[in-house]
Structure 1
Amino acid sequence: MHDLSALYQVTDMKSRSICAENFTGEPGKGGMCPLEQGVARHAARDLGTGWKVNPYIRIASKSTFTIADIKGPGMIRHIWLTPQDSWRNLILRIYWDGQENPSVECPIGDFFCMGWNEYAQISSLAVCVNPGSAFNCYWQMPFRSNCRMTLENLADEETVVYYQIDYTLQELPEKIAYFHAQFRRVNPLPYKEVYTILDGIQGKGQYVGTYLAWGVNNANWWGEGEIKFYIDGDTDYPTICGTGTEDYFCGSYNFEDPATHDRYASFSTPYTGLQVLAPDHLYRSQFRFGMYRWHIPDPVCFDEKLKVTIQALGWRSGGRYLPLQDDIASVAFWYQTLPAAKFPPLPDRDYLEIV
């Protein structure tokens, strides 16, 4: 059940929700925190238990907090989260069915298409970002025996997080694929190298989305590069080859405003979008872009392996392509069977930092 046409059907699913007011999601257990144990006990001191006594969590510096540990079978339906401070310092990890390695490992901002630590509204089917820093995810995430989610705080200071995870307990089909998301960053991209969005995949599944946080280090247009999907037995040449960066993100002609032709035009649609951070004040020295593309109606299916790359190309003299040395970070979203290959190590805090 995931669209309007199915909402009238009778179902045996059980709705549950986890937040700081109900860490386990158990029925009839929300808002039970004793006043003396609540993080908001001072604000609720005149009202007592049940009156917003424990609405958020504090995560100590250099520590990890388990925000969900759910027994299945079930399906994650919605994640809402609002972080503080640097969004690259808070790492989301999700583990399915007792796997040792995470299937999701990503800074929280990039996971919700906010790679530059700056708010921009997104109105898509899979991710919505609303004022003031409300991150929402609607990817469906099935699991058979267990779902474990953690947040790691890389910062030197304690951080506060409000969150809610909505899920259903339900029977699942015999064959399911598990949700995955992997973050990468290269800054700067070495000259004439191709940026790798995803590689080393082992399993059967479908690729469902790309987010890029792209910081340009040159003037003029930067998006001539092609995205390429190397599926299963592909070696030197891919099965799917795009025609340009803006083309892949379902735009055209440099994302130009068609009315003025002198500026970029931001947009947010159900499947694709562009955010533009312009160099319009002191210390912001270059353009930065956020782009998402959801392959919801057009997943890229693979049986054994998948590799995804994108070129960074601009223009130089003589009408020639210029290989760019830009700051590029990405999140690849896909579903696949388990077990999955171990991810490359996540960069350290200094390499993650937006500077």
Structure 2
Amino acid sequence: MTTQPVRYGTYGSSLRDLPRLRDHRRLRVSSWDRTGGNEDRLTVRPGETHTLAEISGAGSINHIWITVAPAAGDGPDSSDRDHLRKLVLRVFWDGADTPSVLVPLGDFFGVGHARTVNFASLPLQMSPEDGKGLNSFFQMPFADGARFEITSECDQDVWFYYYIDYDAFDELEEGLGRFHACWNRENPTGGAPEEGRTNPEHLFGGENTTGEGNYTILETTGRGHFVGCVLNVTNLRQTNEWNWYGEGDDMIFVDGESWPPSLHGTGTEDYFNTAWCPSQSYSSMYHGITLPGGENWSGQISLYRFHIEDPVTFRQSIRVTIEHGHDNRRSDDVSSTAYWYQEHVADWLTLPEVTERLPRIG
């Protein structure tokens, strides 16, 4: 009797597909205590890089769980209260020398500003207590090995607990992209002077007919599809007047198209599937506001939008952008994490130095 090789398969992970019998093997790499004790963690010292998992052959990562804490605590006086921006996650596919995931740990799991908060989306979740249980359910296939690394740029030891769950296959068929994630920041974005303008003129006036000066969430080449992002804003405008940080249109340029792109939106809150200058926390499968900011939209904001049902495909290139305020008139601290799949492993991912990643204080 001839048996077919075990591969990624045509089934999904929905409730409808759960009864479908499967032949792959489910495996895990975790931080369990090999002595049989209860010290189920790594201790990652300042400057160290640890290999969390080195997997051979073909397979697909289907779940990651992580929780971390500075060994000496992360209270208000700790030099490592921003440890989620000081810990860097790197993931390599198919023996590549360059990472396909290069993101500060906390940002990868869906909330910026080195903060955690309870929320639930389809691919990413932060779970109690206080959002410190970090979960990813993104599917991450590979044909010839996967490697996960964590690097600490903290000032003190960090306790690091993790699971990396995956399916093992005999081979990986063609047509499956490799998962990627990257981080970006403009601190601050280039805005426009307010002198001589009323508040409504500054926030709503002007014309952007080129897309130049937009904040860039992702720019890459090749074939693939964009599957979402997290956008973080620290409102830097000090005023008692109406101080909405949004009104920035999303503009996604596919395969080198010029302005106006085929995917041109109508405002920041609209791209994130909310409305009317939201100031409330909200989370759903595909979009949400994990940090809504303070009074008059002050302080730190974090939003997410996942293109699970509507991935943005590209054959040659993609540039995902959004205005920082209408006509790019606002000057705020903006950062983002982009998630996408592409045919070949990207070799251009970079990450700013740790001092350039830390969130603003206050």
- Normalised TM-score (structure 2): 0.82
8 Å Cα contact 1:202-1:341 kept in structure 2: no
Report the AA paired with residue 247 of structure 2.
E
After superposition, the Cα gap between the structure-2 partners of 1:206 and 1:165, relative to the gap in structure 1 and judged at 3 Å, is: same
Q: Distance in 2 between matches of 1:297 and 1:277?
A: 25
Partner of 2:351, secondary structure, is: coil
Task: Report which stretch shifted further, 1-10 or 91-100.
Answer: 1-10
Partner of 1:87, secondary structure, is: helix
Q: Distance in 2 between matches of 1:20 and 1:322?
A: 45
Q: Distance in 1 between matches of 2:99 and 2:115?
A: 27
Matched, 1:339 2:345: yes
Matched, 1:167 2:166: yes
- Which string of whole-angstrom CA distances, capped at 9 and with x for unpartnered residues, describes residues 137-162 of structure 1? 00000000110010010112221111
Identity over aligned residues, as a percent?
34
- 1:286 CA displacement: 3.3
Aligned positions of 1:11-160 closer than 5 A: 11-21=22-32, 33-34=34-35, 50-52=36-38, 54-85=39-70, 86-132=83-129, 133-160=132-159
Partner of 1:254, secondary structure, is: coil
- Which string of whole-angstrom CA distances, capped at 9 and with x for unpartnered residues, describes residues 313-344 of structure 1? 16xxxxxx67011011100100001132412x
Matched, 1:274 2:289: yes
The residue number in structure 2 matching 1:353 is 358
- 1:72 CA displacement: 2.2
Partner of 1:207, secondary structure, is: strand
Report the AA paired with residue 66 of structure 2.
L
The residue number in structure 1 matching 2:232 is 213
Aligned with 1:292 (options 283, 288, 304):
304
Q: Distance in 1 between matches of 2:37 and 2:292?
A: 40
Partner of 2:23, secondary structure, is: coil
- Which string of whole-angstrom CA distances, capped at 9 and with x for unpartnered residues, describes residues 180-214 of structure 1? 00100111112253211111x12111100110111
8 Å Cα contact 2:228-2:306 kept in structure 1: yes
8 Å Cα contact 2:26-2:166 kept in structure 1: yes
Please, what is the CA RMSD of the aligned residues?
1.7
Q: Distance in 2 between matches of 1:251 and 1:183?
A: 23
Partner of 1:83, secondary structure, is: strand
After superposition, the Cα gap between the structure-2 partners of 1:9 and 1:195, relative to the gap in structure 1 and judged at 3 Å, is: same
Partner of 1:246, secondary structure, is: helix
Matched, 1:188 2:188: yes
- Normalised TM-score (structure 1): 0.83
The residue number in structure 2 matching 1:47 is none
Q: Distance in 2 between matches of 1:242 and 1:273?
A: 17
Q: Distance in 2 between matches of 1:67 and 1:105?
A: 15
Where in structure 2 are there 5+ consecutive unaligned residues?
A: 1-11, 71-82, 193-212
- 1:63 CA displacement: 1.4
Task: Report which stretch shifted further, 202-211 or 183-192.
Answer: 183-192
Task: Report which stretch shifted further, 153-162 or 102-111.
Answer: 153-162
Report the AA paired with residue 204 of structure 1.
R
Where in structure 1 are there 5+ consecutive unaligned residues?
A: 22-30, 35-49, 256-263, 315-320
- 1:225 CA displacement: 0.4
Partner of 2:155, secondary structure, is: coil
The residue number in structure 2 matching 1:260 is none
Matched, 1:229 2:249: no
Paired residues in the alignment total: 309
Partner of 2:221, secondary structure, is: coil
Q: Distance in 2 between matches of 1:249 and 1:240?
A: 14
8 Å Cα contact 1:73-1:144 kept in structure 2: yes
Partner of 1:84, secondary structure, is: strand
Report the AA paired with residue 332 of structure 2.
D
Report the AA paired with residue 290 of structure 2.
Q
After TM superposition, where is structure 1 displaced by more than 6 Å over at least 4 residues in a row? none
8 Å Cα contact 1:276-1:287 kept in structure 2: no
